Amino acid sequence: MAMQFTPEGVSMAHVRQVTDSKPLVTFCATSPAKAVEAPVLEKLLKAHHLDRYKGSFLLNSDEYQMLVVEAPNVPAAELKTAVRWRIKDMVDFAVDDATVDVLDIPADKSAQSRNRSLYAVAARNMVIKKRMADFDVARLPVSVIDIPELAQRNIASLLEDKGRGMALLSFDEHGGLLTFTFDGELYSARHIDIPLSQLNQQDSEQRQRHFDRITLELQRSMDHFERQFSFITINKLVLAPLPPEVNLEAYLATNLYLPISTLNLDEIFDFSTVSGVGPAQRMRCFLVLGAALRTEDTAQ
């Protein structure tokens, strides 16, 4: 059971893997901001018989920092400690008051050995402790603390063409998230500081400026990715579901060289067992659906 808590409310999803078929969505819902409060959350979970599952929650983009660092040459058991020391001057809070984890960035298997890079993810302990306390009150055990980059990676793994990488771009009220994946692995991620509400405004000139900036960010990110990971060919850019009136796909298609499409979540998920979950609700649940795809194989 995956959840994401934001000032706007909570998004929740549960997905069951099905052999030789699309993942089955058994629950998908959004609730208003008051559901973030632990007692309300407990009632919500019981009402939908979700208290029998273990929970995971997504940190919001302003609740952690994700940094690329060179992997320290230390035994695996000492890796997180060494990374914690390495990033102490790179984060904007005291690393002693943070939870730190690492994620490997795969290298070119055909290339000669080179320095290994990894992602270091650091989150303030106070943020995690507050959320864990809410889960304790709601009597839901927490199995995973996740981040949007990995949730988006999980969805991208269902969309990749064999032997090719892809870019996936989503927007919510925290801004845009661009990920580059290949063979089910996350290689690069970039945040774009333009929230969804700014793409959905009526002022056409303002929207045009946002579209221009997004295009420039995409071009720069793709150029950088091609230089850094020349062994991967990115063959498409997929947009996460957006309100129809935004129409970002049409604009990008005329300004970028890659094939561009907007994801229809019905193409990769089976929503047949959940009723009343319309396009707007599915759009808000995009990242928690990705987080709910997590298996032991996607534990990082």
Give domain status of residue 221, yes or no. Answer: yes
The answer to whether residue 9 scores a pLDDT higher than 90 is no
Mean pLDDT of 159-182: 96
Contact 167, 258 (CB under 8 A): yes
Range from 107-111, 258-262, 293-297 that averages highest in pLDDT: 258-262
Question: Number of folded domains in the chain?
Answer: 2
CB-CB contact of 222 with 233 (8 Å): no
CATH number at residue 121: 3.30.420.380
Question: What single letter denotes the amino acid at residue 48?
Answer: H
Tell me the pLDDT tens digit for each residue of 205-243. 888 999 999 999 999 999 999 999 999 999 999 999 999
Q: What is the CATH number of the domain that holds 171?
A: 3.30.420.40
How far apart are alpha carbons 9 and 16 in whole angstroms?
24
Tell me the residue range of the domain where 220 lies.
160-262
- Does any domain span residue 170? yes
Angle between helices 125-138 and 38-47 (to 10 degrees): 50
Whether 118 and 202 map to the same domain: the answer is: no
